[in-house]
Amino acid sequence: MAPVVNARIRFNAVPKGYPIPGETTVCDATQSIDLEVQELHGGFLVKTLVLSIDPGMRTRMRNPEEKGYAPAFVLGEPIDGLGVGLVLRSENSDVRVGQYIQGRGFLHQEYFILPALQMGMAFLEKHPKLPLTVYVGALGMAGKTAWAGWKEYSNAKKGETVFVSAGAGPVGSMVIQLAKLDGCKVIASAGSADKVAFLRDIGADVAFNYKTSDTREVLGREGPVDIYWDNVGGDTLDAALDYAAINARFLECGLISNLNASAAQSLVIKDPLLVLSKSISLQGIASFRIIPKHESAFYASVPEKLAKGEIKYREDVRRGIESVEEMLEAVQKGTNEGKAVVVVAEE
């Protein structure tokens, strides 16, 4: 068999704001691979099928000396993230040809070789009624983060009021539906009319476009807020603090409004005394610490609910590895319409 192109997305430059396709990252199609004769050295060959494009990838686009909870991308090397792949060849007795692999550490290139299954990766047993793309979204890290964070920290009681920012995203949309299953009233925000319609479709009692409606006016009318699931930080976090109930629980999952801001532009809590005066608890959600505890219950419940349509999800799917670059920009600007997914190849 003749060699085939093995295109990859290289980290090319540290961005000052939003990542720029062709500048921050570069699609490099200069490498090739012979899938039949490539030496595996006791490992196995993976064909990348699906890649997840997530807001948190922006935190890794930094200089290596800057600290972060995840390692910085290496200049000149392929970026990596969550994905799903298919084993094409294997010299590892624990890995069989034809198995699906999902999880962290997927190089953003069409084919790659691993010596063994890496930490954060696992074999995937595909549900017959669900596409592979769902395993980087509602059945991937996003869905697990929402499930584990909600189950671990919300202490939700029937009749409480929940506010979810970035509610149309893969995490927020799952949280909305879990809150409704627990009998809560849900207020949710998003950034377009289409996304607001989706919020209503998945059960939000109050859905609004934060770009055209005043968040404080909505929370003042519909609150006070007992539980705030925060995906954005910034001024929305301040608004939620203003209209929080006594003993409110704030679940801090994301700070997308700060990711592309300079140090001078980064927003901080304007009135931290509200945390004290209202006895508010702020809980950071580090998914890798809590998912293992809740993973079994997640898989016992969520796949079948997704297959039956009892839990809904929405995806924005682009095709071809070159689409990674435009999708990286889209998730930072919020222009994607659903979970950002790149289908690199069919099986």
Q: What is the pLDDT of residue 258?
A: 66
Q: What is the pLDDT of residue 255?
A: 80
pTM of the model: 0.90
Q: Where does CATH 3.90.180.10 sit in the chain?
A: 4-137+313-343
Q: Measure the CA–CA gap between 175 and 233, rounded to whole angstroms.
A: 17
Determine how many CB atoms are found less than 10 A away from the CB of residue 152.
16
SS (H, E, C) 257-298: HHHCCCCCCCCCCCCCHHHHHCCCEEEECCHHHHHHHHHHHH
Q: Which long-range contacts (CB under 8 A, 24 or more apart) does 230-234 make?
A: 230/165, 230/254, 230/255, 231/164, 231/165, 231/166, 231/169, 231/171, 231/172, 231/256, 232/165, 232/166, 232/256, 232/257, 233/257, 233/258, 233/267, 234/258, 234/267
Determine how many CB atoms are found less than 10 A away from the CB of residue 40.
14
Angle (nearest 5°) at CA 241 between 266 and 154: 105
Q: What parts of the chain have a pLDDT lower than 50?
A: 263-265
Q: Provide φ and ψ at 138, rounded to 5°.
A: -60, -30
- Contact (CB, 8 A) for 152 and 292: no
DSSP label of 256: H
Q: What is the pLDDT of residue 264?
A: 43
Q: Where does CATH 3.40.50.720 sit in the chain?
A: 145-288
What CATH number has the domain spanning 145-288? 3.40.50.720
Helices (H), the chain: 141-153, 170-181, 193-201, 215-222, 234-242, 256-259, 273-277, 287-308, 323-333
Tell me the CATH architecture of domain 4-137+313-343. Answer: Alpha-Beta Complex (3.90)
- Contact (CB, 8 A) for 189 and 167: yes
